[in-house]
Amino acid sequence: MAKSGLLIIISAPSGTGKSTLCKRLIADLGGACYSVSVTTRKPRRGEVKGKDYFFVSREDFKEKVNRGELAEWALVHGHYYGTPRDFLERNLKRGKDVILDIDVRGAAKLKKMYPEAVSIFLIPPSFSELERRLRGRRKNSEKSVKKRLKNALGEIRRIKNYDYLVINDRLVDALRELKCIVVAEKSKVKWSKEKIEKVGLL
Amino acid sequence: MAKSGLLIIISAPSGTGKSTLCKRLIADLGGACYSVSVTTRKPRRGEVKGKDYFFVSREDFKEKVNRGELAEWALVHGHYYGTPRDFLERNLKRGKDVILDIDVRGAAKLKKMYPEAVSIFLIPPSFSELERRLRGRRKNSEKSVKKRLKNALGEIRRIKNYDYLVINDRLVDALRELKCIVVAEKSKVKWSKEKIEKVGLL
């Protein structure tokens, strides 16, 4: 267990800045990797296949589910999303930290499956700021903004199922807090057997 | 609960550099304070009454115990040490973090009494380094060094009762790790009710 990487589950209402923070966190941690989800939704402008998501058809998605290739999957905003199990477990076993950007239902399923995982919920500094950020995304229609705001409130009620809560007001502060959580988690005594042996104290 | 300060329990074998680290941590955290213990041992050179310890006679110590003024007390290396309850609880209630430098037995008692407390065990980078540091203290006799080394091994076996383990190799790294633990602890969802209310999301 001591050599295993840390599974870091991050959830946030759409518009919180989760993707940017996850990318910066991976860059800063060094040796961490991002769990690329499979989805049936269409790519947004700038999204790269295999880097942001694996974009598949509904048929392909169902096949993956049937073959047990997904650690979890869910229907969010009318699209299917899933987490490839093999990538996750292979990297954790190699001692690499894996960051998973996922919705509240997926997070709950993963935490059950991997109880050693750390779950973090990101929130915007205020509800009005969230609304402003969502309206700032040109591709979001009025209907889509309203749907996302309603979903945000539903998701935030699930915070109690998470280990940590981080407010993304200034990106640099939120990033620092995320890095501290990773450092602290790795200082937990449950990961320390190897540390103590190295020191030669036992 | 959200407004309460964090009780930070720190234990370490004698010679690990605990006192220096605790002082630096308090200076860096801002708003934190140090729980000054009561002891029946004689002051070491440079130790200040009311700042490092309250030095009392065995009779005075026993009276404090009888009046229930100590949150915990114990006999360590032949001397009595105790934690004044009033100072601790008053500061926590005011929202101040309190740092408690205490041996493994005292830590266990306090953790039972204050389950929300965070407990951290500090270890030296190696056993030989611990021996070198203890011999470097001129006031330590050969007998005292051997006793402290034996005690160190006994204490280290209690690590599993702690939340975190930090290696004090380079002071600056250990300090950074301690600060991260405090930041992460305060990001825990159990402290978040106030945070969420402030954001206006619930």
pLDDT at residue A52 is higher than 50: yes
Determine, yes or no, domain membership for B65: no
| Nearest C-alpha in B relative to A154 | B202
A1 reaches B (C-beta below 8 A): no
Q: Which of A6, A14, A165 to mutate to test the interface with B (most CBs of B within 10 A)?
A: A165
pLDDT at residue A135 is higher than 90: no
Are A123 and B160 within 8 A, CB to CB? no
CB contacts, 8 Å: A166 with chain B: 187
CA B151 to chain centre: 17
Which of the four pLDDT bands, split at 50, 70 and 90, describes residue B138? low
Q: ipTM of the assembly?
A: 0.84
Determine, yes or no, domain membership for A77: no
CATH, residue B157: 3.40.50.300
CA B152 to chain centre: 16
B197 reaches A (C-beta below 8 A): no
Q: What angle do CA A104, A110, A115 make, to 5 degrees?
A: 120
Q: What pLDDT sits at residue A1?
A: 43
Are B188 and A156 within 8 A, CB to CB? no
Tell me what percent of the residues of chain B surpass a pLDDT of 90: 61
Q: What pLDDT sits at residue A2?
A: 47
Question: Which of A94-103, B152-161, B172-181 has the highest average model confidence (pLDDT)?
Answer: B172-181
Q: What pLDDT sits at residue B12?
A: 92
Q: What pLDDT sits at residue B202?
A: 54
Mean pLDDT confidence for A95-115: 92
Determine, yes or no, domain membership for A120: yes
- Chain B nearest-CA distance from A66, in A, is 35
Which of the four pLDDT bands, split at 50, 70 and 90, describes residue A132? confident
Determine, yes or no, domain membership for A161: yes
Determine, yes or no, domain membership for A1: no
pLDDT at residue A4 is higher than 50: yes
Query: A42: helix, coil or strand?
Result: coil
Are A177 and B200 within 8 A, CB to CB? no
Q: How many domains does chain A have?
A: 1
Residue B100 has which token pair?
């408690």
pLDDT at residue A201 is higher than 80: no
Q: Please name the residues in contact with A173: beta carbons below 8 A apart, sequence gap of 6 or more.
A: none
Q: What pLDDT sits at residue B117?
A: 96
What is the value of pTM for the model shown? 0.86
B167 reaches A (C-beta below 8 A): yes
Summarised one tens digit per residue, pLDDT across range B155-173 is 888 888 999 999 999 999 9
CB contacts, 8 Å: B183 with chain A: 176-177, 180-181, 184
Residue A4 has which token pair?
């295993």
76-105 of A, contacting B, C-beta below 8 A: none
pLDDT at residue A138 is higher than 70: no
- Chain A nearest-CA distance from B82, in A, is 26
Tell me what percent of the residues of chain A surpass a pLDDT of 70: 95
pLDDT at residue B1 is higher than 60: no
A80: β partners: A75
B155 reaches A (C-beta below 8 A): no
A2 phi, psi to nearest 5 deg? -60, -30
Number of cross-chain residue pairs from A and B with Cβ atoms under 8 Å apart: 110
* Gap between the Cα atoms of B156 and A196, Å rounded: 9
Residue B131: which domain range?
A: 7-35+95-199
Determine, yes or no, domain membership for A169: yes
pLDDT at residue A123 is higher than 70: yes
Nearest to A125 among B181, B184, B199 (CB): B199
B173 reaches A (C-beta below 8 A): no
Residue A151 has which token pair?
């979903």
CB contacts, 8 Å: A124 with chain B: 199
Mean pLDDT confidence for B129-142: 80
Tell me what percent of the residues of chain B surpass a pLDDT of 70: 95
Residue A147 has which token pair?
């749907």
Query: A34: helix, coil or strand?
Result: strand
| Nearest C-alpha in A relative to B129 | A199
Pick A193 or A69 by higher pLDDT: A69
Summarised one tens digit per residue, pLDDT across range B100-110 is 998 888 999 99
Summarised one tens digit per residue, pLDDT across range B35-60 is 999 999 999 999 999 988 999 999 99
pLDDT at residue B15 is higher than 50: yes
A18: β partners: none
Are B188 and A177 within 8 A, CB to CB? no
- Cβ contact A70:A109 at 8 Å: no
Summarised one tens digit per residue, pLDDT across range A167-189 is 999 999 999 999 999 999 999 99
Are B192 and A153 within 8 A, CB to CB? no
Determine, yes or no, domain membership for A25: yes
Sign of torsion over alpha carbons B194, B197, B198, B202: positive
A177 reaches B (C-beta below 8 A): yes
pLDDT at residue A157 is higher than 70: yes
